[in-house]
Amino acid sequence: MPIVTKAREVVIGALIAAAAGSIMYACATTKTTDLASGDAASKVYVAPGSYDQYYAFLSGGYNGQIGVYGLPSGRLLKFVSVFSQNPETGWGYNEESKPMLQTTYGTIPWDDTHHPELSQTDGVPDGRWLFINGNNTPRVARVDLTTFETTEILQIPNSAGGHASPFTTPSTKYIVSATRFSVPVPNTDVAIESYKKNFRGTLSFITADQPGKMDIAFQILLPGFNYDLGHAGKGPSDGWFFFTSYNSEQANEKLELNASQNDKDFIAAVNYRQAESCLAQGKARQVASEYFHNVMDEKSHQARAERKTSVRVLDPAACPGMVYYMPTPKSPHGVDIDPTGEYIVAGGKLATVIPVHSFSRLQKAIADKQFDGDVEGIPVVKYAATIAGEVQKPGLGPLHTEFDGKGNAYTSMFISSEIVKWKLGTWEVLDRMPVYYSVGHLMIPGGDSKKPWGQYVLSLNKITKDRYLPTGPELSQSAQLIDISGDKMRMLLDFPTIGEPHYAQALPAALIRDRQVKFYKLSENTNANVVKAESDGGITRTGKRVDIKMAAIRSHFAPDNIEGVQLGDTVYFHVTNIEQDWDIVHGFAVLGAENAELIMAPGATRTLKWLPKSPGIYPFYCTDFCSALHQEMQGYVRVSPAGSAVPLMANTSKKAMAQISGANADGRRSHDDHARPGGE
């Protein structure tokens, strides 16, 4: 790869962008020399009916969701709705899931997901949950890996950008979220130029090992830098957490230039056991802070949103020994801990080396008080005292490092568009693989854990250009699978991804494949509007609210003819899929509905809110192809003028009507056998 020799001077964004552009096209002209060849195809070929070896979870970036892919094939298996409404599944549109998107800013129908994080037990991914962050309106979400559904979302207060998130401690006691943008805490109306005086950074430690009970355990208040990424220690460094920061200049304008002045910024080394000890000693302040905690109940399939009102905040001054700053060149981005827990690798995105700190040297430096002063009372540990080594001439724009568990590290180089393999301890570069183009994160299954499955590295590229058939101005983004089982990396596969595949995690399929929920047990469905048999369906009116309970089963809805709805009513269709069979999903859509369809997994209830706009007949139908008679799975709802005498009626056959009448004994008005359609 062409290395720009004056890289040390390349410090401002405009130059970086220019460098990226020229190198990108340099790569394009030489790419055929690195194309996969020989038996690469057979290494990624998963025969029809066979399974992939790994589940890979790729963030959707600005689509706010998660894509689940099989590796090595790169096949898309599932799209998990998290922070963004999804009309494909009704997520965020149906009444049951709407509370999941509740925040103190109201309902937020979108976010920007960046870092999927698998839960761990003793430092190894365990397949219980997947966490992911929302960058824009800081939140973290839990996805249950038995259902691949989002079950919990926690908003992060006193934070204005949840980028360094949701990295886990080795047994998932905590996940974290650090603010990318510092803001006044509490947020208030101040002059922006008072940044240095008024703006603060926060690190949030979130309890994560109890499903349904995520909460802010505590926050640490720090100087107003930009906190970027983080990783927990493990093994000897268990109990510590490391966060990169940039903008130690505390600039508030033209950061591209003004936040790149200092030769070194900082990694914040946080002793969270010390933080726990200070909490236990009552050294935290209780600070009024509003945020939401939203949970999807697994039995009722109904989410609830709870407003919380305060958090515990720790000031470093009140808890000596909790935070140290490790100087690190130069606006560091990634901070990655090797499987042994000894090495702390920084991605100095504007640096010409990859600096590697030593945890044991950090401990000794702290014991010996080898400090270079302090920042707002936080001791700054001497760079020379903690550094274990520097990888020289690694490439340009080192961002992120993952590990293969065999003593090697792999670092993504954004500007020189390559993945560089180097050796822990000797810091020598062993191999390079060009990638197309401008790699951000890279991912080895378990590659940030104690036990990497070091067979593949996935390159998550920002720019696609000429890799696929062109599709107009916007191209799907690209992931590339590289075999790292031998001494030399081997390119195997390109595959397009949905949204921006910002970061990914993966684990062997065997860890979760056999634990999948195949359907929800209807007998355990506690939704307030469930129907457990076709005969339980019906219609009730409460003032101007009309509730219609329906069963969906191959290949009809019960009831399927509905009358008595009037203009001005708010109608709720509560549809339960009463099938008890794997993969038999039904949908529900009604003409003119302003939200989206419902998709009901077997055994689940979903509710669609509908405000009819004019009198008439409105068909509804099943949207998910479920049987040979899917096209017959339909019905009609009649809407009459306000004040109409058309009685409530659900279903066409007298037998069914009788059953519905019995089921609706508590309804204000029930249908009347003698007032059949026509009599208005």
Distance (Å) of CA 492 to CA 98, 251, 470: 42, 43, 21
* Choice between 343 and 620, CB closer to ligand CUA: 620
Q: How far is the CB of 584 from ligand CUA (least distance, A)?
A: 8
Residues 90 and 589: their CA atoms lie apart, in Å, by: 10
Q: How far is the CB of 519 from ligand CUA (least distance, A)?
A: 14
Residue-wise DSSP of 192-238: GGGHHHHEEEEEEEEE-SSTT--EEEEEEEEES-EEEEEEE--GGGT
Q: How far is the CB of 628 from ligand CUA (least distance, A)?
A: 10
> Which residue bears the tokens 């062997």?
508
Instruction: Calculate the dihedral angle through the C-alpha atoms of 533, 92, 76, 506, rounding to the nearest 10 degrees.
Output: -100
* Choice between 549 and 586, CB closer to ligand CUA: 586
Quick check: 266 and 224 in contact, CB under 8 A?
no
Q: How far is the CB of 577 from ligand CUA (least distance, A)?
A: 8
Long-range CB contacts for residues 13-22, cutoff 8 Å, separation at least 24: 13/256, 13/257, 13/260, 14/256, 16/350, 16/397, 16/415, 19/396, 19/415, 20/397, 20/414, 20/415, 20/417, 20/438
Quick check: 531 and 576 in contact, CB under 8 A?
yes
* Choice between 222 and 608, CB closer to ligand CUA: 608
* Choice between 20 and 626, CB closer to ligand CUA: 626
Distance (Å) of CA 290 to CA 154, 158, 162, 307, 577: 11, 9, 16, 7, 37
* Choice between 382 and 630, CB closer to ligand CUA: 630
Q: How far is the CB of 529 from ligand CUA (least distance, A)?
A: 19
* Choice between 423 and 556, CB closer to ligand CUA: 556
Neighbours of 10 (CB within 10 A): 18
* Choice between 298 and 624, CB closer to ligand CUA: 624
Q: Which of 658, 660, 652, 612 is nearest to 635 (CA)?
A: 652
Residues 85 and 96: their CA atoms lie apart, in Å, by: 13
Q: How far is the CB of 579 from ligand CUA (least distance, A)?
A: 9
Q: How far is the CB of 625 from ligand CUA (least distance, A)?
A: 5
Neighbouring-strand partners of residue 118? 130
Q: How far is the CB of 626 from ligand CUA (least distance, A)?
A: 3
> Which residue bears the tokens 């008890």?
580
Quick check: 336 and 231 in contact, CB under 8 A?
yes
Measured at the CA of 185, the angle between CA 179 and CA 186, to 5 degrees, comes to 125
Q: How far is the CB of 560 from ligand CUA (least distance, A)?
A: 12
* Choice between 275 and 593, CB closer to ligand CUA: 593
* Choice between 130 and 600, CB closer to ligand CUA: 600
* Choice between 9 and 632, CB closer to ligand CUA: 632
Which residues would be at the binding site for ligand CUA (CB under 6 A)? 555, 586, 622, 624-626, 630, 633
Q: How far is the CB of 391 from ligand CUA (least distance, A)?
A: 57
* Choice between 229 and 622, CB closer to ligand CUA: 622
Q: How far is the CB of 635 from ligand CUA (least distance, A)?
A: 12
Enter the tokens of residue 593: 């509905």
Beta strands in 320-467 (DSSP E): 323-328, 332-337, 343-348, 353-358, 371-375, 378-381, 387-392, 398-403, 408-413, 418-423, 429-434, 439-443, 456-461
Enter the tokens of residue 550: 């329906």
In the DSSP assignment, the letter for residue 86 is: B
